[in-house]
Amino acid sequence: MHPAFSVIFFTVTSGAGYGFIALLGLFNFLYLGMLIDKNTFFICAAVGISLFTMGLISSTFHLANPKNAWRAFMRFRTSWLAREGLLAIIFYPIIFLYLYFIYIDFQLDYFLLMQTYSLIIFVLSIIIIYCTGMIYACLKTIPQWNTFWTPINYITIGVSLGALIFFFILDFNNYNIEPYKFYLLLLIISSLITKLSYYYSIRGPKHDIGQATNAAIKLKTTKVRLLDVGHTGSTFLTDEFGYKVAERKLFKVKMFAIISGFLAPFLLIYIHSFIFENIIFCILAISLAFLGMVAERWLFFAQAKHVVNLYHGSQNV
């Protein structure tokens, strides 16, 4: 598939934003009240909301007619795109009401209600990330995406990016980060493991041109092959759905995504936590993680091959 930068930016930033907000809700729930002071909490919330808002806005840039984006909400019962879009819109009044309750110290009088609300914020944020992943995972015509590892990757990567930002803000505001070092490192490793599992699951071609053509015309004893395609030049389908990149380049991008997106942030946070504490390491970890995730998401689209390529002469999809 042709990697559109607007979609790459959308999936990375919105995932990080919802992952960040999910962690805020989870920590409020687990710590039975406010983990940080209100000013710091509102800063965290503003960063998370800004991230997923920028992502949602950028998601309209790849549309031929952005003014028709509202149509994406019309198929909630059958479309993961509609579900993600509608839940993202509904999430705004929910999170703003949550922030208002925190502002007026609503939890002091209605503690259990606010604990439940915090859990709802966490669950809804994760569900939205899951819906974003399922936009791609539900497409059976793209075997590289049609795996349960796709939404899992979206969730683990989004939460780990949010955790990096959360860790930085806590450290910058002189909070005790000692209890959270291990959890952050564990999240980074978990996201790497799920990403490697995804790569392993798509390591071989799932569709062979001969088998696919034979199955289509119900011939089992004769091997059918495509002699010629129905056009002499490239078309919209071959450009968008048959994006071709050299295997060497794909391998280099994959190595960069793994090193910059996972290994380097893990090493930098480990050094900051256990060897030499310096806020610069956190900034570098966040910067490299986002660069790595942009590369990872570019690779996610570049590796995907639509089965329509079988019709256009592709031997392996």
Q: Mind listing the pLDDT tens digit for each residue in 109-160? A: 778 888 899 999 999 999 999 999 999 999 888 888 889 999 999 999 999 9
Residue at 115 is within a domain: yes
Residue at 45 is within a domain: yes
Count structural domains, the chain.
Answer: 1
Per-residue CA distances from 243 to 8, 238, 257 (Å): 15, 7, 19
Residue at 317 is within a domain: no
Tokens of 243: 């994006």
Residue 292 or residue 35, greater confidence = 292
Which domain CATH number covers 145? 1.20.1630.10
Whole-number Å distance between alpha carbons of 59 and 298? 15
Per-residue CA distances from 219 to 154, 215, 216, 224, 312 (Å): 40, 6, 8, 8, 20
- Digit-coded pLDDT (tens) for 187-220: 999 999 999 999 998 886 554 445 556 666 666 6
Whole-number Å distance between alpha carbons of 278 and 171? 10
- How does residue 316 score in pLDDT terms, banded at 50, 70 and 90? very low
Residue at 26 is within a domain: yes
Residue at 182 is within a domain: yes
Q: Which residues, at least 6 apart from 307, have a Cβ–Cβ distance to it below 8 Å?
A: 141, 142, 143, 207, 212, 317
Give the least confident one: 42-56, 94-108, 112-126: 94-108
User: Which domain, by its residues, includes 133?
Assistant: 5-311
Give me the DSSP letters along 139-172. Answer: -TT-TTT-STHHHHHHHHHHHHHHHHHHHHHHHH
Instruction: Determine the residue type at 238.
Output: T
Rounded to the nearest 5 degrees, what angle is found at the Cα of 276, between the Cα atoms of 274 and 281? 100
Task: Look up residue 246 and give its DSSP letter.
Answer: -
Give the least confident one: 42-51, 234-243, 298-307: 234-243
Averaged pLDDT for residues 225-234: 65
Residue at 316 is within a domain: no
Tokens of 256: 């960069």
Whole-number Å distance between alpha carbons of 100 and 17? 19
Would you say residue 257 has pLDDT above 80? yes
Q: Which residues, at least 6 apart from 185, have a Cβ–Cβ distance to it below 8 Å?
A: 266, 269, 270, 273
